[in-house]
Amino acid sequence: MTKADDIDNCLYPKSAKVHDLMADLIDKYFATHLSLPWEDAVRLHKEYYQNYGLAIEGLVRHHQIDPLEYNAKVDDALPLDGIIKPRPELKKLLADIDRSKVKLWLFTNAYVNHAKRVIRLLEIEEFFEGITYCDYGSVPLTCKPHPDMYRKAMRDAGVEKYEDCFFVDDSYQNCKKAQELGWSVAHLVEDDVKPPKTPACQFQIRHLEELRSTFPQFFK
């Protein structure tokens, strides 16, 4: 069994506002590198995010941008050090998982630098056996919710059966696709976020703590 965790807005809360900081840097990137007026940059960023799941995928498809340079200007430029801090309740939650029954795996659309930085700041490296990230160095980019990305995570983690995969993500589309493929999925919808009209998947949780009752078979 493998339990895959999304990283951003999942292992730390939306209230950390990392998403807003990132969105701002992405808007700036669009404005500067595509020479667009601010409103057009914001609109195109939103359009690519909705169409492809990642702004960068649109940039790679439709413009000649270097994804690694983008990564340096956006994800790696985020001032995370004062913002993402260790969370004792998260560490306790992860420590209470019986890792003889389930392998913990990180599954993110970020590039590996950002993913590792967040995990280090949260001080939770020790709990995870590996990570599947979006490889900005290989074009075309593969990211959630594309089915190939889920299969890549399974290959990376050494799992063969879809039904052996358990997954948590804060993205509606990512959860929906995971369930379609046959994973068991918990959609994290934080307290201050409006729940979707139609649930994305079988389980919807307000807090990661609820994983204790959603997937009790994995806790000590």
Please give the residue ranges that form the binding site for Mg ion (CB under 5 A).
Answer: 6, 8-10, 170
E runs forming strands in the chain: 2-5, 103-107, 130-132, 165-169, 184-188, 203-205
Q: How far apart are CA 104 and CA 28, in angstroms?
A: 35
Q: Which CB atom, from 31 or from 208, has the smaller least distance to Mg ion? A: 208
Residue 115 or 157 with smaller CB distance to Mg ion? 115
Nearer to Mg ion by Cβ, of 8 and 27: the residue is 8
Is the Cβ of residue 31 or residue 145 nearer to Mg ion in the bound state? Answer: 145
Shortest Cβ 145–Mg ion spacing (Å): 12
Helix, strand, coil % in the chain, rounded to nearest 5: 50, 10, 40
Q: In angstroms, what is the minimal distance from the CB of 171 to Mg ion?
A: 6
- The answer to whether residues 2 and 166 touch, using CB atoms and an 8 Å cutoff, is yes
Least CB distance to Mg ion at residue 8 (A): 4
- Measured from the CB atom, the residue of 9 and 214 that comes closer to Mg ion is 9
Residue 54: CB minimum distance to Mg ion, A: 11
Instruction: Tell me how far, at minimum, the Cβ of 139 lies from Mg ion, in Å.
Output: 23
Residue with tokens 């790679």: 60
The one-letter amino acid code at 42 reads: V
Which backbone phi and psi does 180 adopt, to 5 degrees?
-55, -35
**Residue 218: how many CB atoms within 10 A of its CB?**
18
